[in-house]
């Protein structure tokens, strides 16, 4: 199958392209950065360039749409909407012009917000198909409050809001033709080799001995290993026409204290220090760094958003 992967030069995209090539597919990358791993397969382009994107979809049978603004500290915040929402509008235009009927979109669990209180346990949200989601097959007893695919959407930041707006744009495209296949995947935080995101930053702080825990550490975290996610994404190519929404997480969900113990054990360090900063004080510190970043124009590893995410059940 001829496949285009937007954002294919990035962390998840590179691993996905590798998996797709192993399955014998012909893969093209569309990214504003040239792929270090697959430079000969890369089209340098911005998702905001509608005409170039449309030309790049010629002869394509399926699209994985990974390109997005996703960091916590993107400035100006309008970039979230220009790239994530405007990019979705351009993608729909390009899909229609090239009669591409299959789209797999990586959204985010950030659409549910922080600490969502959900009592019910649901399954796959779909049109034209029935089934049970991976998250339900892996769900462990006592996690009835974990958001499922039918849970209320309540994003708390511009990233989550922009990604959900992109979802609605793609849903309209899928509704316009019963032969279209739209699969929306909402992953949790992703970790793996060569990633320099939040999980890496936590590990790095633990390894350096500079880590200070904010909050009591009893909040639970859903996480996913990149190669597990990309393997799942590859299987979605076999889906029949319709609309599907999947939450993706690897189980079990550990609390922050358990994660810290695992990390210290892996590093061979003896950890018995239960010292922590109360959440309110940590959040005040985050706001102070927000102000400093605004004044200096620099980015810092600490921010109010990161404190909130660190201490939340996610």
Q: What is the pLDDT along the chain (314 residues), one digit of tens a residue?
A: 999 999 999 999 999 999 999 999 999 999 999 999 999 999 999 999 999 999 999 999 999 999 998 876 677 878 889 999 999 999 999 999 999 999 999 999 989 887 654 333 333 333 333 333 444 333 333 344 677 898 889 888 889 999 999 999 999 999 999 999 999 999 999 999 988 877 888 888 888 877 788 888 888 888 999 999 999 999 999 999 999 999 999 999 998 889 888 888 888 877 666 678 888 898 898 899 888 988 888 878 788 888 887 787 77
pLDDT at 80: 85
| Residue partners of 183: CB distance under 8 A and separation at least 6 | 103, 104, 105, 236, 239, 243, 244, 245, 246
Burial grade of 37 (CB within 10 A; 0-12, 13-18, 19 or more): middle
pLDDT at 272: 64
| Residue partners of 137: CB distance under 8 A and separation at least 6 | none
Q: Which of 64, 80, 159, 248 is catalytic?
A: 159
> In the chain, what is the greatest distance between 2 CA atoms, to the nearest angstrom?
60
pLDDT at 274: 67
Q: Could you confirm whether 159 is annotated as catalytic?
A: yes
pLDDT at 78: 86
| Residue partners of 72: CB distance under 8 A and separation at least 6 | 157, 159, 303, 305, 306, 309
State how far the Cα of 77 lies from the Cα of 89, in Å rounded to an integer.
Answer: 18
Q: What are phi and psi of 240, to 5 degrees?
A: -80, 165
231 vs 17, 24, 128, 218, CA distance in Å? 11, 14, 24, 31
pLDDT at 115: 65
Give the CA dihedral 296, 297, 299, 300, nearest 10 degrees: 20
């Amino acid at each position: 199958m001829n496949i285009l992967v937007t954002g294919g030069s990035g962390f998840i995209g590179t691993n996905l392209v590798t998996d797709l090539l192993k399955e014998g597919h012909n893969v093209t990358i569309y990214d504003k950065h040239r792929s270090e791993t697959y430079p000969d397969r890369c089209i340098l382009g911005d998702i905001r360039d509608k005409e170039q994107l449309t030309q790049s979809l010629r002869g394509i049978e399926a699209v994985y749409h990974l390109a997005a603004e996703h960091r916590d500290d993107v400035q100006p915040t309008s970039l979230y909407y220009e790239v994530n929402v405007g990019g979705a509008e351009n993608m729909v235009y390009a899909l229609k012009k090239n009669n591409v009927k299959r789209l797999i979109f990586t959204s985010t669990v950030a659409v549910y917000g922080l600490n969502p209180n959900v009592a019910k346990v649901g399954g796959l949200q779909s049109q034209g198909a029935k089934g049970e989601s991976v998250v339900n097959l892996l769900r462990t007893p006592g996690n009835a409050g974990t958001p499922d695919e039918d849970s209320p959407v309540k994003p708390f930041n511009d990233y989550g809001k922009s990604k959900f707006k992109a979802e609605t744009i793609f849903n309209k495209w899928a509704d316009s033709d019963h032969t279209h296949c739209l699969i929306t995947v909402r992953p949790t935080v992703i970790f793996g080799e060569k990633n320099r995101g939040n999980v890496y930053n936590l590990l790095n702080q633990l390894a350096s001995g500079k880590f200070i825990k904010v909050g009591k550490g009893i909040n639970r975290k859903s996480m996913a290993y990149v190669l597990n996610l990309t393997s799942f994404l590859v299987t979605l190519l076999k889906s029949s026409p319709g609309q599907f929404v999947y939450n993706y997480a690897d189980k079990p969900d550990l609390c922050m204290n358990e994660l810290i113990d695992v990390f210290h054990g892996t590093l061979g360090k003896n950890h018995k220090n239960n010292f922590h900063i109360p959440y309110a004080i940590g959040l005040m510190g985050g706001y102070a760094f927000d102000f400093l970043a605004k004044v200096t124009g620099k980015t810092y590893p600490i921010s109010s958003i990161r404190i909130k995410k660190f201490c939340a059940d996610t």
